[in-house]
Amino acid sequence: MSIETVRWGIIGCGDVTEKKSGPGLQKARGSELVAVMRRNGELAADYARRHGVPRWTDDAAALVADPEVNAVYVATPPAFHKQYVLMAAAAGKPVYVEKPMAMDHNECLDMVAACEAAGVPLFVAYYRRRLPRFMRVEQLVREGAIGDVRAVIVRLLRYPPEAPYAPDETPWRVAPDIAGGGLFMDLGAHTLDYLDYLLGPIVRVCGYAANQGGHYRAEDTVNAAFEFASGVQGTGTWCFCAHTAEDVIEIVGTRGSLRFSTFGSEPVRLATPGGVTEYPSAMPLHVQQPLIQSVVDDLLGNGTCPSTGVSATRTSWVMDQVLAEYRARMSGCPLDASS
């Protein structure tokens, strides 16, 4: 498929598309946003009007079939990712899908297989792989600023909701039947994917999850231990019912350490026996735009996007391993000891 300009159609123009991604599709070189879809036609029309998008629809199939659309961005909650990715693949159109890539690892495999069979690229919105501050971390690690990497420590703590959610008022991000899990799936995925990019695939992982706060059905506390193919080991704690808020990734090496956050904008901190150096880095106005540019460049034959369906499938596998025991317990199904 030869593309001179990537003309995007968005399926699911909700909050994430307002500032993080939608304008990035419009501002990236060689890219246009030509159509949007939302099941509520009035909201789709409102989005198109506010963002200057030529067309809108309440029918995903119509958007995918639109001859002016030659690439599809799926920005719905995870429960609908597989459905729309397969629809776009069947139409022969490249796909950029929100994270987490799907409800679980098996869905990811189906999506990758469908896109490979159709001969279309599949990209996933793990945009930290192209944000400047995370590229600074990558540069420092690759240059050997901390020596050989030995360990990674992750800690993400958040306050709980003020009160438990009523069943019909639960945000979709903590509704397992829509999100695949809780905030670990939504937020922890970013960290795990970036570590996959920085240090290589995680090949061994175990974890424990629980609902300790009782504010919603999904897990709110997760602990994991993991090992990368390189031999680097890591641990992580994600607690969304804590007394405080904290966001720390620490990478420990033989000659120093790096400290930064997944969601903050503070400088990256390098500590060595020679002292501490901080590396400030401005965040782009539209945080997905650098990754979107790499997607567009890839489709136009001018570069390679670092976040694909294959890489994102690895992250979903890790999360599945961490949540396996909890999911089995919640569903009342014992784990298969042979799996």
pLDDT for res 334: 57
Domain spans of the chain?
6-127, 132-283+318-331
Short-list 156, 151, 125, 175, CA closest to 8: 125
Q: Partners of 152 in the beta sheet?
A: 234, 251
pLDDT for res 335: 53
Intrachain domains 6-127 and 132-283+318-331 with the same fold: no
CB atoms within 10 A of CB 128: 24
Distance CA 37, CA 21 (A): 15
pLDDT for res 3: 83
Return the DSSP state at 140.
Answer: H
Q: Which CATH number fits domain 6-127: 1.10.10.10, 3.30.565.10, 3.40.50.720, 3.40.980.10?
A: 3.40.50.720
pLDDT for res 333: 61
The pLDDT profile of the chain, 339 residues, written as one tens digit per residue, is 568 999 999 999 999 999 999 999 999 999 999 999 999 999 999 999 999 999 999 999 999 999 999 999 999 999 999 999 999 999 999 999 999 999 999 999 999 999 999 999 999 999 999 999 999 999 999 999 999 999 999 999 999 999 999 988 999 999 999 999 999 999 999 999 999 999 999 999 999 999 999 999 999 999 999 999 999 999 999 999 999 999 999 999 999 999 999 999 999 999 999 999 999 999 999 999 999 999 999 999 999 999 999 999 999 999 999 999 999 998 876 555 443
Short-list 60, 113, 73, 114, CA closest to 92: 114
Q: What is the CA radius of gyration of the chain?
A: 20
Distance of CA 128 to the CA centre of its chain: 9
pLDDT for res 337: 41
Return the CATH superfamily for domain 132-283+318-331: Dihydrodipicolinate Reductase; domain 2 (3.30.360.10)
CB atoms within 10 A of CB 294: 21
For 260, the enclosing helix (H) or strand (E) is strand 257-260
Contact 39, 14 (CB under 8 A): no
Q: What's the pTM value of the predicted model, to 2 decimals?
A: 0.96
